[in-house]
Structure 1
Amino acid sequence: MGRLKRLVEPIASAMAPYQADAPLAAQFRARQIQAVLRLTPLTMLANVLNALIVGWTFRDDLNPLLLVGWALFVLYSAGAGLDAWLRWRRHRTPATASPRALTRSAKHAALLAILWGTVPLLMMPEANPDARVLLTAVVTGMICAGGFALATIPQAALTYVAILGAATVLGLIRMDLPQAYEMGLLLLLYTLIVMGTVISSARTFGARLMAEAEGEHQRQLIGLLLNDFEENASDWLWETDADGRLTHVSHRMATVFGRSVDALMGQDLLALIAQSLDRVPQDERQAYTDLCRRFNSGRPFREALVPIVLDGETRWWSLTAKPLTDGHQMSTGWRGVGTDVTQALAAQREVQRMAHFDGLTGLSNRNHFHESLSRIEEHAADSHTGALLLCLDLDNFKAINDSYGHSFGDGLLRVVAQRLLGRTRRTDIVARLGGDEFAIIRWGLNTPEDAEELASRIIASLADPFEVDGIRVKIGTSVGIAMAPKDGQSGDQLLKNADIALYAAKFDGKGRFRFFDYEMDTRARRRLFLEHELRGALQRGEFHLAYQPIFSLATGRICGCEALLRWRHPRLGLIDTQECISVAEDSGQIESIGEWVLNAAIRDAAGWPDSVRLSVNLSLAQFINPALCDTILTSLSEHGLPATRLELELTESIFLRDTTDTEGHLRALRAAGIRIALDDFGTGYSSLAYLRSLPLDRIKIDRAFVQAITTHPETAAIVRAIIAIAKALDMDTCAEGVEGGAQLTVLRAEGCDTVQGFALAEPMAPAALAAFLTGNITVPALVAASRSAAEKKIMRPQ
């Protein structure tokens, strides 16, 4: 018996319709048995009914004791099957089964097949022809039904079908029938078909078991990953029912809410958010309204921002969700992910503020001002709308700034900004255009009397003494006034005319205002004169270059020099560089001048040490020239300066053009080995998208931020953010306008790479620079020198 067991169990294992490891195979065997048990009541009922039919058929032909004994055996087998079914229904069937359990099933099937095999072997030869037909139908049905009912246990099904089929074939052959052999052969064929179907069904069942096991494995793996995600990630998972009540709350979400998981379960998610928004501004409540609209739409949404007040602090969440549906595509709830984006949103808003507002005063910057001023063109045809533009220029500011230092001047500008805000309406646009230039836009139709009243109030306010750092000073302001649509139907035209009026006010003696009129052409004539004189300045040799050293904070030594254009007119003297460049750009002469600057600077830099890089500012007109790269490479080759030692500085205005052309130009220059720097970052458009997509090597931090870095924590935060952004994008940074050792210390602590400014070295002629480069001067030595010079009041920018 033990030998038979050792022989049968390997065969049973080999017939398993799956390939699985031992623990999984044990579960599969239990599933095989359970699948058979589901049909057990029907199969046992069929056995009982067929036994009654057999008993009734042979009631007069067989020994009653033999017939009753046979029937009792059949009923006993049926009872055993029903007992197993009842245990399964009471959940008493184990979740795993051993190979012996399948062997027992095969034995039980074999016993049942032997019992029914006696019908064709022993009983049918004794029956009359009609009874034989009935019994043949019964036995044939038992073969098919038993094979299909036991198909999930192939060894049991095949054993049952083989025994009963063979007995039936032998019974047919024993009977004295004309077609006995033909019928036996046909029944044998049917038996083989049933056995083949059993094997195919078993394999299908086994494949389904493997698929379900793999699916469960994946579900557990995903669950494990989700649990790890919920425990360790900054995001959290949530799920609601069709009524919006939370049905799943992760521990991370409960932590963010400051409540327990049980306290949040069953709560209305939208109601939880709404309860905290009683005192938030209306514009923030609008975000909640938008979120409600997204939920009501029933469509998936991504990164919907919504405010929520927790512990008295307004936090911003980003919610992403998709609706859950049942089999009839009816909504059953929502499942999604939440993220606290408060810090990221604050950083984004800070960058946006930096792009639209002046970092020193908090007023609108030049970019925002021009964007606002452009609205005039939208209403140019409407005579019922208008605008009032005031251009302001502080009187005596330069002298005060030179006397007390730039830090004092910055503090003075901030106080001026506060007074301007205090004398204007909240709807007015108050902007700092640069330096000590301010502008105010007031929308709507304004009378000259309204403009005069506003200008007088501002002049009187700024005429009062200012106190900064314990020092009292007195300045004034001049105001130029232009009114739309009378003085201009475009922003540019209105600004030009207000600027002309401002020049007239200053010419008249400062501390006063002037309305624009078309006889104010003094400044325009000067501009025309400069434009005319500029045309021959290059040929007359009136241009020269000065170089301001750039120092590495890592080594303390000079790593580069920036080339600066200077124009000394025979009669007017040294012309303001910005005015010179502005006239050159407007008159179309900037390309020829820029080409001269590039060639002259490359020629001078060729004699510098190899470790010193040349930085040259590039205008928009130069940049868009398709031949720019070839021109630069030709000059580099002619003077023997490696391309890697040249750095081109571009302002953000260049990036306002078509980004495809811009990127193509930049990549061509980069491919040649030339470095690209973004100049005056934070004072113009300052789009992070440009930093990410365009090939840049360096960000130059504008002097306005550098000069306020030691006195204004918010400015220091901006500088820190710029440096962090640059490092994240694999760029280095250069701080312009370093005025003292304190600024240098902060910049070094924040991780700035390079610096330049009057605290380190003033712009100097090529000959002076050559001597300077050989002096091996480092940053600490220069800072000490600048402090000594400041004490003696001999170090002044030129």
Structure 2
Amino acid sequence: MAGLFSRSARARDDEDIAPENAPLCPIAASDVARRVELLDSFEAAGLGWFWATDAQGRLIYLSETAAEKLGWTDGEAIGKPLGELFTPEKDEDPDKAERPLAFLLSARNSISQLNVRLAVEGQEVWWEIAGKPQFDEKERFTGYRGSAKDITVSRESQKDAERLAQYDSLTGLANRHRMTKRLTATLKAYRNSKRACALLMLDLDRFKQVNDTLGHPAGDELLKQVAARLGRIVGTKGEIGRLGGDEFQVMLPDIDDRGALGDLSQRLIQMISQPYSINGARAIIGTSVGIAIAPYDGLDTEELVKAADLALYAAKGGGRGQYRFYSSDLKDGAKHRRQVEEDLRDALENNQLSMHYQPLVCAKTHTVKCCEALMRWEHPERGTISPAVFIPVAEEIGIIKKMGEWALNEVCRQAMEWPVELRVAVNVSAVQFAHDDFPQVVKNALTNSGLSPERLELEITESVFLGDTGRAQRIFKELKDLNIRLALDDFGTGYSSLSYLRTAPFDKIKIDQSFVRGATEDGNNNAAILSAIVSLAGALNMETVAEGVEAKDELDLVTQRGATLIQGYIFSRPMPNEDFLERLADGKLKYDPKGPAKYRADRKTVFRRIGLIHEDSRYKVVMRNLSKTGAMIEGLLDVPLGTQVVLDLGGGQLAVATVRRSKGATQGVEFEQPLISDGADGLCTRHRVSPYQIEAAGRPLAALPHDPYSLIMAERMGAASQKKFVEIEVGSPAPGTSY
């Protein structure tokens, strides 16, 4: 290919070269020949290349060395439009977005340091190009003249450096810096386009045990496997990051359906909780998940991350292996939890803890065969505090070992006072079980009380297998050497694995109440699962306990399916030792079933003031109970059957409902769409009032207030609205009830 700059001067033979002491001869601007020679040598050395186009954008020149390097021969590129040879760089960072080459050429703008990829098959070649439009003496556009240089190697090095700065070197996931940057850019863009973005915060439960027992290399390998599992579940739906340690974050654009997010979180928990094989060792961990959604729970990165952190904190506080959605109540909950921490340290010394007992009765005779010891905390100011609240706190602040030791001694001492030699089961925390001296603690409790080892039963959840399973087996052996009994609690939930039953010496399996609930309903698979668990236990010579039996049809079912023992409110609630002792002393060993004839969907008793919307009117009512499919409300007189209403459950949660039962001031309503689990014991709606709707109503864009619907409807629901129903005042709840 002929050079763009014709050579009119050639190098002379060696003998014609000027001597070293020849006078200086600068290249003048008018010395065209020597200037062209200089540019030719620049091209030949590969330091840079030149290109030119005509007025139609077709290539009329490309440095010969450049064409040769790309394998283009015989003027192959000449005549092609420049846009077909170069593909502009696409950067995912919106802050680096550049105007495309096609725009620059059509607008006849100058091109400066534009990175382009060459359309060369089978090669990854990148150039940095520059160019200026040319015009003749009549200001007519004649084409471009430009330069280029190969930046393939330097670009790859830069990309590697950028990747190291943005990605976690261990797992390959985005690091904290990148996740923050991406989340910030996404939230900013989505705010303008009125879109939603969910953020999931995760950390691993019991990861420290793996590090401590198997070593840090094993911990690193475990984190890699966790990252791979996260990737398989999340896929292309979002971006995953490792923030450091055992903390992970998942950003999910365009998702605000809390039902879908709850299902995804549950899959993440189940997948991460499956066993891991690490250098021949077996390890099991768990995870907790906190969920926040923009713009509902926060508009900017800091606000949304804080909301997701609070939700994660609540999930861990609820017992781990759970997910939680953010709600404004969690701010108060975190404050309450800190108060629980402070007060719990003094609860044991101040005799605020006690043991209650719930009987386990024979499925055939309904006589008590065993009982479960359950810890209770009666706070002098706040009344009864649920074990679901204080046990996780005790584990986290490190006093569960002391509390567990007290419970073992107290139960053994009290059981010795019973006139009947019943077995008694004591729950064991996974944290308590993890201490090497736990078998000795059990032995001391038996020795000090004089209780026969055969009467003591330890209920252990599958979470004790988290971490080093070999160590767990050693503790099991030491416990069985004491001749006590072992029960696997809550079987079928959390970290289930049949290998536990193969290797651990359990005497009993407790079937979690979640498999009893709904088992009598048509199309529910729980009945089949019950049969399978009972058959499995029978083959292994183990007893089975059906937990949480409340209705008579449930009792009939679990009895027919072969459960050995029954536990639940249908026979008795947990009772203080004094009441249990009195019943035993009176010889009342048989329990009569007392409960509803049939199971119905869980209907949680509440006393909560909510809003009810009918047409353009808003009423204040009290919700007495709540289930996934409906609620009972009180506060409106004589509402006709079939009336369509909307229950405002707070926090932007609106439930469309139909009145199915009505008597006086009480109505039973059925929801158009079932509520979903909030990850705890509560229920919530899939969707909420969007902050964008509030903004459209003339309010500033902000995260959801407690009562956003009233902001939207403020003008429509004026004082002059004609209400169709009469409101009445509903009495206050019993003392100590919160709403």
Range into which the TM-score falls when normalised by the shorter chain: 0.3 to 0.5
Alignment TM-score, normalising by the size of structure 1: 0.38
Q: Normalized per residue, which structure has more strand?
A: 2
Q: Normalized per residue, which structure has more helix?
A: 1
Tell which has more relative contact order, 1 or 2 (C-alpha 8 A, sep 6+): 2
Larger Rg over CA atoms:
1
